Amino acid sequence: MVSTMQTSIMNVETKYFHLKHDLLLESGEKLSPVTLAYETYGTLNDEKSNAILVLHALTGDAHAAGYHHDEDSTGWWDLMIGPGKAFDTDKFFVICSNVIGGCKGSTGPSSVNPKTGQPYGLDFPIVSIKDMVNAQSHLIKGLGINKLVCVAGGSMGGMQVLQWVASYPEMLKSAIPIATAAKHSPQQIAFDEVGRQAIMADPNWSDGHYYLKSPPTRGLAVARMIGHITYMSDISMAEKFGRNVKPEKRKQKFSPDYEVEGYLQYRGDNFVKRFDANSYLYITKALDNFDLGNGGSLEKVFKQAPNVRFLVIAFKSDWLYPAYQSKEIVRACKQAHLDVSYYEINSTYGHDAFLLEAAEQEHFIGNFLKRFYDE
Amino acid sequence: MVSTMQTSIMNVETKYFHLKHDLLLESGEKLSPVTLAYETYGTLNDEKSNAILVLHALTGDAHAAGYHHDEDSTGWWDLMIGPGKAFDTDKFFVICSNVIGGCKGSTGPSSVNPKTGQPYGLDFPIVSIKDMVNAQSHLIKGLGINKLVCVAGGSMGGMQVLQWVASYPEMLKSAIPIATAAKHSPQQIAFDEVGRQAIMADPNWSDGHYYLKSPPTRGLAVARMIGHITYMSDISMAEKFGRNVKPEKRKQKFSPDYEVEGYLQYRGDNFVKRFDANSYLYITKALDNFDLGNGGSLEKVFKQAPNVRFLVIAFKSDWLYPAYQSKEIVRACKQAHLDVSYYEINSTYGHDAFLLEAAEQEHFIGNFLKRFYDE
Beta strands in B163-265 (DSSP E): 174-178
* Non-local CB neighbours of B18 within 8 Å, separated by 6+ positions: B33, B34, B35
**A351 classed as catalytic:** yes
Phi, psi values for residue A354, rounded to 5°: -65, -20
Q: Do A268 and B197 touch (CB under 8 A)?
A: yes
- Residue A288 Cα distances to A196, B173, B368, angstroms: 12, 51, 46
Which of A186, A237, A256 minimises the CB distance to B185? A237
Taking the C-alpha atoms of residue B340 and residue B329, their distance in angstroms, rounded to an integer, is: 10
Whether residue A251 has pLDDT greater than 90: no
Question: What is the pLDDT averaged over residues B277-302?
Answer: 97
pLDDT for B345 equals 97
User: Mean pLDDT score of chain B, rounded to an integer?
Assistant: 96
**CB contact, 8 Å: B366 with chain A?**
no
User: Is B2 a residue whose pLDDT tops 70?
Assistant: no
> For residue B142, is it left (φ>0), alpha (ψ between -120 and 50) or beta?
alpha
Count chain A–chain B contacts defined by CB atoms under 8 A. Answer: 149
Could you tell me the CA-to-CA distances from A345 to A239, A339, A358, B9, B100 in Å, in that order? 18, 20, 11, 53, 46
What number is the ipTM of this complex? 0.95
B200/A229 Cβ within 8 A: no
- The answer to whether residue B251 neighbours chain A at the CB level (below 8 Å) is no
Q: What's the rounded Cα separation, in Å, for the pair B111 and B123?
A: 11
B209 touches chain A (CB under 8 A): no
Residue B239: strand, helix, or coil: helix
- Judge whether A155 counts as a catalytic residue: yes
Q: What is the pLDDT of residues A71-106, one digit of tens each?
A: 889 999 999 999 999 999 999 999 999 999 999 999
Strand-pair category, B118-119 with B150-154? unpaired
How buried is residue B20: exposed, middle or buried, by Cβ count under 10 Å (0-12/13-18/19+)? exposed
- A289-300, pLDDT tens digit by residue? 999 999 889 999
> Is A222 at the interface with chain B, CB within 8 A?
yes
Whole-angstrom distance, CA of residue B316 vs CA of residue A156? 29
Is A239 in CB contact (< 8 Å) with chain B? Answer: no
**DSSP characters over A75-123:** -TTTTTEETTSSEETTT-EEEEEPPTT-SSSSS-TTSEETTTTEE-GGG
pLDDT digits (tens, 9 = 90+) for B26-47: 999 999 999 999 999 999 999 9
- A244-248, B238-242, B270-274 — which is least confidently predicted? A244-248
| Phi, psi for A40 (deg, rounded to 5) | -135, 150
Report which secondary-structure segment, H or E, holds A129: helix A129-142
* CA distance to partner chain A, nearest, from residue B330 (Å): 20
Q: Determine the CATH number of domain B15-184+291-374.
A: 3.40.50.1820
- The whole-number pLDDT of residue A247 equals 79
Q: CB contact, 8 Å: B196 with chain A?
A: yes
Q: Among 2.90.10.10, 3.40.50.300, 1.10.1740.110, 3.50.50.60, what is the CATH number of B188-284?
A: 1.10.1740.110
Residue B3 has pLDDT above 50, yes or no: no
**A370 phi, psi to nearest 5 deg:** -50, -45
Q: Which of A253, A260, A291 sits opposite B190 (nearest CB)?
A: A260
Secondary element (H or E) of residue A55: strand A51-55
Q: How far is A260 from chain B (nearest CA, A)?
A: 6
B71 pLDDT more than 80: yes
Best mutation target among B236, B260, B280, B284 (most A Cβ atoms within 10 Å) is: B260
DSSP state of B172: B
The minimum CA-CA distance between A280 and chain B, rounded to whole Å, is: 11
The Cα-based distances of A9 to A3, A81, B211 in angstroms read: 16, 9, 57
Quote the pLDDT of residue A6: 63
DSSP codes of every residue in B269-311 = HHHHHH--HHHHHHHHHHHHH-BTTTTS-HHHHHHT-TT-EEE
Residues of B serving a catalytic function are 155, 318, 351
Give the helix, strand, coil percentages of chain A, each rounded to 5: 40, 20, 45
Mean pLDDT of B72-92: 96
Residue B294: partners with Cβ closer than 8 Å, 6 or more residues away: none
CA of A238 to nearest chain B CA: how many angstroms apart?
6
Ramachandran region, residue B174 (left: φ > 0; alpha: ψ -120 to 50; beta: rest): beta
pLDDT digits (tens, 9 = 90+) for A140-165: 999 999 999 999 999 999 999 999 99
Judge whether residue A1 has pLDDT over 50.
Answer: no
Contact B237/A at CB under 8 A? yes
What pLDDT does A4 receive?
A: 45
> Using 50, 70 and 90 to split pLDDT, how confident is the model at B19?
very high
Tell me which chain B residues have a C-beta less than 8 angstroms from the C-beta of A253: 122, 126, 208, 281
| Residue among A352, A255, A228, A243 at smallest CA distance from B191 | A228
The pTM of this model reads: 0.96
Q: List the single residue in B122, B221, B237 with the smallest CB-CB distance to A253.
A: B122
The CA distance from B337 to B304, in Å, is 11
d(CA A333, CA A298): 8
| Residue (of B367, B298, B370) closest to B336 by Cα position | B298
- Chain B residues with CB-CB distance to A221 below 8 A: 197, 201
% of chain A beyond a pLDDT of 90: 93
- Domain coordinates in residue numbering, chain B: 15-184+291-374, 188-284
User: Nearest C-alpha of chain A: how many angstroms from B53?
Assistant: 30
Query: Could you report the per-residue pLDDT of A299-313, keeping only the tens digit for each?
Result: 999 999 999 999 999
Could you tell me the pLDDT band of residue B70, with boundaries at 50, 70 and 90? confident
Question: Average of pLDDT values for A102-128?
Answer: 98
CA distance B123 to A89: 60
| pLDDT of B370 higher than 90 | yes
Q: Tell me the CA distances in angstroms from A46 to A49, A93, A143, one per residue in order.
A: 8, 11, 12
CA A345 to CA A347: how far, in whole Å? 6
Interface residue B221 vs chain A (CB under 8 A): yes
CA A216 remoteness from chain centre: 23
Q: Check: CATH 3.30.200.20 for A15-184+292-374? A: no
Q: Output the pLDDT for position B246.
A: 87
User: Given a cut of 90, is residue A252 above it in pLDDT?
Assistant: no
What average pLDDT does the structure give for chain A? 96
At A88, phi and psi to the nearest 5? Answer: -80, 110
**Nearest alpha-carbon partner for B320 in B241, B233, B223:** B233
pLDDT for res B373: 81
